[in-house]
Every structure is written in C-alpha cells, then in structure tokens.
Amino acid sequence: MTTSATVTLERLTKRFRSPDSREVVAVDDVSLDLAGGSFVTLLGPSGCGKTTTLRMIAGFEVPTSGRILVDGHDVSRRTPDKREMGMVFQSYALFPHLSVFENVAYGLRLRRRSGSDLRAAVERTLELVNLHGLGQRRPSELSGGQQQRVALARAMAIEPRVLLFDEPLSNLDAKLRVSLRSEIRRIQQQLGITSVYVTHDQAEAMALSDVVVVMRDGRVEQFGPPDEVYRRPMSRFVADFIGRANFLEAEVVAVEGDSAEVAVLGQRMRVPAADGQRVGETATVVVRPESIRLGSGELRATVRRSTFLGPLVEYELLMGDAVVVAVDPDWMGHGLHGVGEEVACSFRPDQAYVLPPGQSAEVAEVAPVDPDALAPEG
Amino acid sequence: MAIALAIAIGFVLVAIIWPIASMVSVSLTGEAFAVFERYLTPPQGQILINTVILGIVVATIGTLIGFLFAYVQVRVPLPRYLKRFMHLMALLPVVSPPFALALAAIILFGRSGLITRDLLGIPFNIYGLPGLTLVMSLSFFPVAYISLSGLLRALDPALDEAATNLGASRWRTFRTVTLPLLIPGLASSFLLLFVEALADLGNPIVLGGNFQVLASRLYLAIIGQYDLLAGAVLGILLLVPSLIVYFVHRYYAERASVISVTGKPSGRPAELTHRPTAIVLAVAALLVSLLVLLMYATILFGAFTNLVGVDNTLTLKNFAFVLFGYGVEAVTDTVLLAGIATPIAGLIGVIIAFLVVRGRFFGRGALDFGTMLGLAVPGTVFGIGYLLAFNTPTEVGGVTIFPKLTGGAGVLGGAVAIVLVYIVRSAPGGLRSGAAALQQIDPTIEEASVSLGADQSTTFRRVVLPLIRPAFLTGLIYSFARSMTAISAVIFLTTPSTRIMTQQILNETNAARFGNAFAYCVILIVIVCAAIGVLYWIIGSGTRIGRTADPTIAARST
C-alpha cells in the first residue's frame, strides 16, 4: 500500500490554561524519531501528556512550540483533515447514522473514490478486520469488539501515512482486549503503516510495540524496545510502571564497564548497571519478582503472605528488613510455602539492574499482581 | 399497587378521556355535519389554512432560533457572561404568561409603536401573521433550544474529530455528521412547536387581528356566541392534526435519544474555530437575546407607567390595582389553585411513571398514551370538552354519581374543574421526567429492598421515591410554571368566583388597560421565579442523588 512514513517530533510542547487560569504544561519539550513502519506506544499514567501528544500529531491540538515532521515535511500547521493520518478513537466515534459500509467508505468518498472501486476497497478493508458481510449493519447492531474493528477499518481504509490509536481497547473486556491487540499488531505488520498507540496498560504496550515511550508529567522518561526498557529501566518510575519491581538498597563496591559489584542483602554480586555509578555510594538494585528463585540459595526469607494465582504463586517475603515480592511459576514442582515458613532463596544477579544514581530506595512497596497481566496471549 | 393502578386509570378515564369523548360525540351528530362543511369550505375554510400556515412558519422559525441558540451555547467559544445572558433570555419566555410578549410587541411595533412609529416613522401593522410569527417564535423557541442543546452536548466530540481526521472539511463535517445526527432532534422540535403553535390561544386573540386561526375562532364561538356545536367541530379540526403530529414527534424524539452508540464521550466539546462563522452566529443569537430583553424591559417599564409610550409618568397604581385592589383575588386564586394542582399532578405523574416503567400488566402502553393526551391535545379542546362533560351532573338511574363541575354553580364555584385541568395538563411532564429517572435506576435496587423484607409500597416510599426526588421536584417546578401561565383550557372554565391571572391579563388587554396587564405579567413572572427559587433551594439542600431528568434543569445548571 503506502510507503512507510517516518515521523519526527521536534521539541514538542503544549501549554494549556486551566479553568482557574493557571498554566499547565501538558507536554514538555518532547523529541522523538519514529522509524517508518514501526509501532510506537506512548505509555504512562493519566495526565502524563500521552494523549495530548497524539492529538498534536493528529492535528486536534496545536503545539505551543515545536514541530511535527512527516517524511521530513513540517505538518505542524496543517489542519487535521489535510494530514492523511487515520485515527482510532477511544469511544470509536463511529457515525451512528451510517451503516458499517458507509462508515468505512466515508474517508474514501472524500477522496473521490466511487462505484466498484470504492466497493472493492471497502470490502477488502472489512475482510482485513474479519468483518466480511457485516457492511449493511448499523454500528449499534454490533458488539463492542466488532465496533472496534469497524473503527480500525475506517481509519485504515484511507491508506493513511500514519495510524493513530487513542486507548482503543480500554472499553473492552480483558479477553477481547488481548485478542484484538494481537490482531491490531498483525494488521499493522501486514500493511507496514507507521503507528502511534496511546495506552496506560503496560502489558498492551509490551505486547504491541517495537518501541515503548514511557511518559511522565509531560516528559519522555525513557524509550526503547520493550525488552530493553523492561530489563534496563532508567528510573524507579519506569521500573515500577513497566512490569513489577523490587527495589533493594545496595552499596557500590566496584565499577567495571557496564556492570558494578554491589553489596546487597549481605551478599556481594556483580550486577549490570547504569552509567555513572560511584564506588562507596548507595545505589538501588531492581529485582523482578520472577527472577527470585525459591527453595535453594544462600538468602533466608520469611513468608509474610502467599497468594495462589493458578499459573503462579505470589509470595511476600521478609528478607532482613526488606519486603520483597517473588513469584513462583514452578509451585507444582516443589510445593507451596505457608505463611511464617522460612525459605531459602536466591536471585540471578545478571537479571537484576542497578538504577542510575539518585534513585532513592525508601519506599519498596509493590502492587499486587494484576491477573490480567498474566493472561496468555490469545 | 392495585390502589395506585385504580387511581391512575380513574384519573385518565374521568379527567382526560371523558371530556375528549364528549366533544367527539357532539361533533359526530347530524347537525355537526353542516358545521364541518362550513369550516372546511371557503370562506371559513381559510381559518384552517391560516392555522396550518401559522403552525409551519412558527415551527420553522422557532426551531431555527432554538438551534442557533443551542449551537452558539454549546459550540461557539464566547465569554461566559454572554452565554449566561443568552441562556437567561432563552428561558424567560418559559416562565412568563403566554401573551406577555404579544403585549410588548404591540407597544413596541404596533400602529403607534415606540419603535415602528416614534423611532422609525414607518406605518406597520403588527396584527396578523407577521406579529404572530414574531411573538410566537420568540415564545416557543426555548422548547427547541432546550432539547437541541441537550442533544448537541450529548454528541461525542470524537465524531467530529473522526470525520476531520478522515479528511472532511469543517463544513463537510457539519453537513455529513453533525447535521444528520441532529435531524431527528430538529424534526422533533419542529413538530412540537407546530403543535404548540396550533394550540396557542392567547397570542391569536391579542395579536391576530383579521388573521383568524382555529383556536381563536373556537374561543369566539364559545365565549362570544356560546355555540358549543361549532366549538366541538373546531375542536375536532384542532385535535386531529395535533394528535397526528404529536405522535410523529414522539417517534422522532425517541430516535433522537439513541444517537450515541458506544463508549464514554472523550475529549472536550468540539468548538467552532472558524472565526467569521462564529461571529455571525454569535451576533445573530445576541440580537435575538437583546430583542427578548427589550420586550421584557417594555413589560417591566409598562407596569410602572400609566400608558407606556403615551404617558410615561412613573406610577405604582397598576401594582396597587393588582396587589391590593380588584386583582388581588385573581392572584390568590391562581396561586392557590395552581398550588393545589402541582403536588397532585406531580404525584400522579410519578405513580403512572412507576406503573408504566416497572409494572407488568396489560395496557401499560394505553395508560402512558392516555396520560400523554393531556399534553398532546390542545388546551382549548379540554376547555370545551370539560364544558360538555361536566356542565351537568352525571346521573345513573336518578342517582348523581358525578356532580356539576363547571360554571359558577359548579362544585366550589368551578374551582375543581380548574384544578383538574391544571393536573391534566401538568401530569404528562411529571410522567416523562419520572419515567426517565426510573429508567436510570437499576431494578435490582428495588429487588434488594424486597429481598430484605420490604413490601412494594414500602419499597416505593423508601427507595424509589428518594432516588427520583430530583426529577420529581423538577417536575413540580415545571408543573407549577405551566399551571400559572396556562390559559387555553382554563379560559373556558373561569367563573366570577374563580378568577385566574392569565384571564385577567386578557381582560385588561381587551379593555386597553395595558398598565394593569403588564403589572399582572410582572407579578406572575415574579411568583413563578420565586417558586422555582424555593424548589431549587429544597433540591439543593437535599441529597444529591441521580441526575435530573428535566433538560431545563440540566441546561440551567451549566
């Protein structure tokens, strides 16, 4: 279809005036390069500026400063109808007075397509989203998942240079969310359209994206491939937001290249580390719950709480004075541990990570497991 | 449940169906045929044509003004105080007597009008179609404004954005998305205004001149000639189109209410960013608002002068006449009768709403329909229907089972008939707002109450009623305002011992004592506004549960 477009955000900033006429910086100096054909997710809690960024790309918000380039051309001053970007809305925004067919044909008619050419294009798009034969229905006669597919088809039908998604799955139930997200990914890869996807669901972001952009307070906190962001978070915020994390206080003993020798929980170990570590200073080590192994090892812990979740068991452990969360996927192999029980455990240092300096380790609270995040890919 | 049902059915049969049926049966007699012929052929046939023309013109212009106000209110970025001002001007006609604007129009634009003659020096005949169009459009556009602004607010702004995103220009988006979604609402407003214009009695009497319409001709037939047969025939001519149009309107209104499909509406309302269009629309709405303001200022000023435009000396004698002289009886009678009717109408409305929404009996639809007739049927039809049905006691086998209600010799000097008509006209509003509120309450809440051991009436009293309280109280406001400003049915039922303010306004107008008429208008508006204030205070001091179902409240609070 179209050749994949690159999108560049250059020092994009958006300031609003709030009702009590205070100035709010919704997006603060964001610069990003989106490779052609890539699937990029803007991820963050509500109010982090992700939706405003997306709406600026679409043209619904005018940047206070900065530029948006598509294939090197500045589109910042173009009105939304001249940008050739398909958008999928959170509320779907299907035209309720038009049939499914006419919804999908809407953008094509504006591009002067008609007759059998138009019909073929609409049918092809409906087939792509597995809605073949539902063209004559009204949007209100479709299920939520089907409506979502129509919204996707409508945005794709115009063969946009960029596809934009504004939390498109947030109104669907968990199972449908999982199956639709892999469908979105399949279609996007098939067509190779550069896509920007806004979500606050980290599992969705990881499942979909080539690149995850974690945002906070209008700024980009970190961006990169999902596995890299997961493995090498650059802040407590990122580590906490992407997946789940234990934060352990450690002392840097030695620094060698991209790893450091640290003293943590009374042990010395070599752990991959962010740049800038200094010997003798306190550092924070991120340990993912799944890299803690129970049943053997030189660490001693007391079980404070145990939650049975089916595929895995979640334990809250007391190690010294640190509370650590661990998950055990192999509970069938070595049985369950009861509350108060003393267990031996260990974690693999090469799966942990030392955060950049300046990330204090005071609050080591970990949220309970979200069962949705464990649901298998459908 | 059984008692409630009996009350509801009895009310609909006696107070609504019987009068209408009486009128219909009179119009089906042999002598009526000739009268029908007279009013369906020239020259008298012109009256029917006039009525339809007036209805179409007023409905069109009123809907357009209503849409203009709604669009400016919801979509055009304007300073807050300007929007509030326009909103207030759009609601003033709702709380004022039906021909207050007609009086102001005569003073301002009449043969010796302040503007037409004194300012512009042009001879202009306000009487007839032009004057009626002006006054009735301004009186009725609030109905269109309230429903259309609610509809516009409910439109998901993402719909506009989706169209723009797909490449549609602003105008194209408006034409292919916004407008089609509003068509049911526009159609419903048009039809409702058409029925209102058809039924309006006050304005055609005051401003009609030689331009006769069915309602004013009917008034003449009854009050001038006491020709009940002609009245019944004219009533039928009025009834049939009103009913048809009203139920077509209902069909569209129901379609208009299901415009949004899914999901939570996202984002901020789409504002009109095209400056020239925005300025033109805002200026147009502002001019209409200023016209309304000018007319109400005239009413206020007129109430304090001897004869506004001729003798502008300030005086309090008009108010003395209304509040301490001859008029005081009308004020107290009207407030008393409307005050009695309001809670009864509210309660009946809620009970019927509950039966219709939650009941599981055969004929729910008929009960709903029967109650709604109180709104759909022109007030004049009820006026003549009551005269025909209740002017003599009803006897079965020599036993009086129903006393004479109308006329000075009727029960309590005819007051019962007036209260009954007020209730009939107001209960539909209570039914609709009550039904809307009930539909938002999950039935399992009531099931929970029953499972805890409460019987049905306890559940209604302790659970349902508190939940729909805001809607109920809003319905009361509506009901009181409606009763206080009613004229079309009541004018046939007033007696020397029951004086009604709206009818007194008409008398003073006919006697060219404008000062007194204006003073009545001002006092009536003040009373209605005070009642609204009190009810708001009650609503505000109560628990804030649920949403108010009445769009006027939703519109007012924003």
Is residue A103 within 8 A of residue A142, CB to CB? The reply is no
- Compute φ and ψ for B542, nearest 5 degrees: -85, 180
User: How do strand A73-74 and strand A65-70 relate by DSSP bridges?
Assistant: antiparallel
Compute the distance between CA of residue B71 and CA of residue B76 in angstroms, rounded to an integer. Answer: 7
- Cα distance between residue B235 and residue B241, in whole Å: 11
Confidence of residue B362 (pLDDT cuts 50, 70, 90): confident
Say if residue A174 is in the same domain as residue A250: no
Q: Find, among B282, B91, B252, B260, the residue nearest to B186 by Cα.
A: B252
- A137 & A284 share domain: no
pLDDT at B257: 55
Could you tell me what percent of chain A has a pLDDT over 90? Answer: 62
* Residue that is written with structure tokens 């789940």 in the block: A244
Does one domain contain both A353 and A306?
yes
Q: Does B158 touch chain A (CB under 8 A)?
A: yes
Same domain, A131 and A268: no
Q: What is the CA angle B382-B384-B388, rounded to 5?
A: 110
CA distance A77 to B68: 30
Q: Does A89 touch chain B (CB under 8 A)?
A: yes
CA atoms within 13 A on the CB side of B387: 24
Mean pLDDT of B239-266: 69
- Beta-bridged to residue A270, according to DSSP, are A261
Residue A266 tokens read as 């009374």
Partners of A286 in the beta sheet? Answer: A247, A353
Residue A331 lies in a domain: yes
Q: Tally helices (H) and strands (E) across chain A.
A: 10, 19
Spatial distance between the Cα atoms of B342 and B376, rounded to a whole number of angstroms: 19
Beta strands in chain A (DSSP E): 7-17, 23-34, 39-43, 65-70, 73-74, 85-88, 162-166, 194-199, 211-216, 219-224, 246-256, 259-264, 267-272, 282-287, 292-308, 313-319, 322-328, 342-347, 353-354
Last residue of some domain: A198, A231, A264? A231
**Given a cut of 60, is residue B265 above it in pLDDT?**
no
Residue B412 is classified by DSSP as G
B522 with B323: CB under 8 angstroms? no
Angstrom distance (rounded) from CA B329 to CA B314:
25
Strand partners, A224: A212
Judged by CB atoms closer than 8 Å, whether chains meet at A84 and B167 is answered as: yes
Residue B264 is predicted with a pLDDT of 44
Select the more confidently predicted residue: A22 or A148: A148
Q: Chain A contacts of B158, Cβ < 8 Å?
A: 89-93
Residues B399, B380: Cα–Cα separation, whole Å: 31
pLDDT of residue B541: 60
- Kindly tell me if the per-residue pLDDT of B335 is higher than 70: yes
What band does B555 get if pLDDT is binned at 50, 70 and 90? very low
Residue recorded with tokens 């988006």: B173
Output A117 or B328, whichever has higher pLDDT: A117
H helices, E strands: number in chain B: 26, 4
With pLDDT > 90 as the criterion, what percentage of chain B qualifies? 22
Distance CA A202, CA A42 (A): 10
Contact status of B159 with chain A (Cβ, < 8 Å): yes
Judge whether B94 is closer than 8 Å to chain A, CB to CB: no
Compute the distance between CA of residue A297 and CA of residue A334 in angstroms, rounded to an integer: 14
Contact status of B262 with chain A (Cβ, < 8 Å): yes
Q: What is the mean pLDDT of residues A28-46?
A: 94
If one counts every other C-beta atom within 10 angstroms of the C-beta of residue A173, the result is 11
Determine, for residues B266 and A89 on separate chains, whether the beta-carbon distance falls below 8 Å.
Answer: yes
pLDDT mean over A198-226: 94
Q: Which residue, A8, A43, A48, A42, is CA-closest to A28?
A: A48
What's the whole-model pTM score?
0.80
| Whether residue B156 has pLDDT greater than 80 | yes
Contacts of B265 in chain A (CB under 8 A): 91
Task: Let me know if residue A150 belongs to a domain.
Answer: yes
CATH of the domain at A38: 3.40.50.300
Looking at residue B391, what is its pLDDT?
A: 80
**Positive or negative torsion for Cα B424, B426, B432, B438:** negative
Query: Average per-residue pLDDT in chain A?
Result: 88
Tell me, yes or no, whether A156 lies in a domain.
yes
| B366-415 pLDDT per residue, tens | 899 899 998 889 988 998 998 888 887 776 666 666 777 776 666 777 78
For B66, the token pair is 């209503």
Work out the pLDDT band at B270, boundaries 50, 70, 90.
Answer: low
Distance CA B322, CA B320 (A): 6
For residues B273 and B266, what is the distance between their CA atoms, to the nearest angstrom? 19
Q: What is the β-pairing status of strands A39-43 and A211-216?
A: parallel
Q: Please indicate whether, in this complex, the C-beta atoms of B262 and A60 are within 8 angstroms of each other.
A: no
- Tell me whether residue A376 is in a domain: no
Per-residue model confidence (pLDDT) at position A1: 45
Q: Please report the pLDDT score of residue A360 as a whole number.
A: 59
Highest mean pLDDT among A230-234, B264-268, B542-546: A230-234
Do A30 and A150 belong together in one domain? Answer: yes
For residues A21 and A130, the model is more confident at A130
Spatial contact of B78 and B466, defined as CB atoms under 8 Å apart: no
pLDDT tens by residue, A229-242: 999 999 999 999 99
C-alpha–C-alpha distance, residues B378 and B380, integer Å: 5
How many structural domains does chain A have? 2
Angle at A217 between CA A216 and CA A218, to 5 degrees: 90
Structure tokens at A199: 């979500």
Please check whether residue A178 lies inside any domain of the structure: yes
A216 and A324, same domain (yes or no): no
Could you tell me the pLDDT band of residue B546, with boundaries at 50, 70 and 90?
Answer: very low
Name chain A contacts of B185, Cβ cutoff 8 Å: none
Q: Which of B167, B176, B262 sits opposite A91 (nearest CB)?
A: B262
Please spell the DSSP secondary structure of A124-182, one letter per residue.
HHHHHTT-TT-TTS-GGGS-HHHHHHHHHHHHHHT--SEEEEESTTTTS-HHHHHHHHH
Q: Say if CB B425 and CB B486 are below 8 A apart.
A: yes
- What per-residue confidence (pLDDT) applies to A212? 96
**Is residue A325 domain-shared with residue A196, that is, in the same domain?**
no
Give the C-alpha separation, A141 to B317, whole Å.
66
Say which residues have a Cβ less than 8 Å from residue A86's Cβ, sequence separation at least 6.
A107, A154, A155, A156, A157, A158, A160, A162, A163, A164, B165, B166
CATH number of A313's domain: 2.40.50.140
Side chain identity at A45, as an amino acid letter? P
Residue from the list A87, A91, A139 with its beta carbon closest to the beta carbon of B165: A87
User: Do the bridges between strand B311-314 and strand B394-396 make them parallel or antiparallel, or are there none, so unpaired?
Assistant: unpaired
In a domain, A18, yes or no: yes
Identify the residue among A94, A97, A164, A169 best suited for mutation to test binding to B, counting B beta carbons within 10 A and taking the highest.
Answer: A97
B272/A contact by beta carbon, under 8 A: no
pLDDT given at position A370: 46
Q: Is the dihedral of CA A332, A333, A335, A337 positive or negative?
A: negative
Task: Give the Cα separation of B458 and B541 in Å (integer).
Answer: 24
Tens digits of per-residue pLDDT, A106-134?
A: 999 988 888 899 999 999 999 999 998 89
Average model confidence (pLDDT) across chain B: 83
| pLDDT reading at A377 higher than 50 | no
Edge-to-edge strand ranges of the sheet holding A259-264: A267-272, A259-264, A246-256, A282-287, A353-354
**Cα-flanking dihedrals φ and ψ of residue B397, to 5°?**
60, 40
Give me the pLDDT at residue B450, please. Answer: 79
| Cα B189 from Cα B529, distance rounded (Å) | 25
**Given this model, what pLDDT does residue B408 score?**
64
Burial class (CB in 10 A: 0-12, 13-18, 19+), A196: buried
Domain limits for position A289: 246-363
Among A186, A207, A231, residue at a domain's last position: A231
Q: Is B334 helix (H, G, I), strand (E, B) or coil?
A: helix
Q: Are residues A227 and A80 in the same domain?
A: yes
A162 and A254 both lie in a single domain: no
Block residue for tokens 């509970």: A331
Same structural domain for residues A252 and A145? no
- Selected residue with higher pLDDT from A92 and B66: B66
Which of the two residues, B558 and B388, has the higher pLDDT score?
Answer: B388
Query: pLDDT category, B252, cuts 50, 70, 90?
Result: confident
Query: Does ipTM surpass 0.90 in this model?
Result: no
Burial of residue B312, with CB atoms counted within 10 A of its CB: 0-12 exposed, 13-18 middle, 19 or more buried: middle
Q: Which helix (H) or strand (E) holds B396?
A: strand B394-396
Q: Is A126 a domain residue?
A: yes
Going by C-alpha positions, the residue among B301, B298, B277, B282 that lies closest to residue B85 is: B282
What's the confidence (pLDDT) of residue B268? 59
User: Nearest-CA neighbor of A98 among A60, A43, A142?
Assistant: A142
* pLDDT higher than threshold 90 for residue A247: yes
Q: Which residues of chain A make contact with B161, given a CB cutoff of 8 A? A: 58, 60, 80, 87, 89, 93
Least CB–CB distance from B166: residue in A90, A107, A140: A107
Which of A43-52, A124-133, B27-36 is predicted with the least confidence, judged by mean pLDDT? B27-36
**Bigger pLDDT: B453 vs B19:** B19
Mean pLDDT calculated for residue range A87-108: 90
Q: What is the mean pLDDT of residues B290-313?
A: 86
Give mean pLDDT, residues A28-36: 94
Predicted pLDDT of residue A298? 86
State the average pLDDT over residues B350-378: 87
Lowest pLDDT segment from A134-148, B380-394, B415-429: B380-394
* A343 vs A324: CA distance, rounded Å: 13
Q: How far apart are CA A38 and CA A4, in angstroms?
A: 9
pLDDT at residue number B543: 42
Among A178, A204, A231, residue at a domain's last position: A231
Q: Considering only A359-373, B229-243, B315-329, B403-417, which range has the smallest mean pLDDT?
A: A359-373
Whole-number pLDDT of residue A364: 42
Contact between B272 and B77 under an 8 Å Cβ cutoff? The reply is yes
What's the Rg (C-alpha) of chain A? 24
**CA–CA min distance A237, chain B (Å):** 27
Q: Which residue of A16, A17, A95, A137 to mutate against B (max B Cβ within 10 Å)?
A: A95
Cα–Cα distance measured from residue A343 to residue A303, given in angstroms and rounded to the nearest whole number:
7
Question: Based on the domain organization, do A180 and A320 belong to the same domain?
Answer: no
| pLDDT > 90? residue B247 | no
Q: Which residue has the higher pLDDT, B254 or B13?
A: B13
Q: Which residue of A has its CA nearest to B182?
A: A97
d(CA A250, CA A233): 17
| E-only strand ranges, B181-256 | none
A301/A274 same-domain check: yes
In three state form, how does the secondary structure of B104-123 look? HHHHHHCCCCHHHHHHCCCC
Query: Does some domain include residue A369?
Result: no
C-alpha span between B339 and B545 (Å, rounded) = 26
For residues B4 and B425, what is the distance between their CA atoms, to the nearest angstrom? 20
Token pair 């000023």: residue: B301
Pick from B467, B464, B439: which is nearest to B449 by CA?
Answer: B464
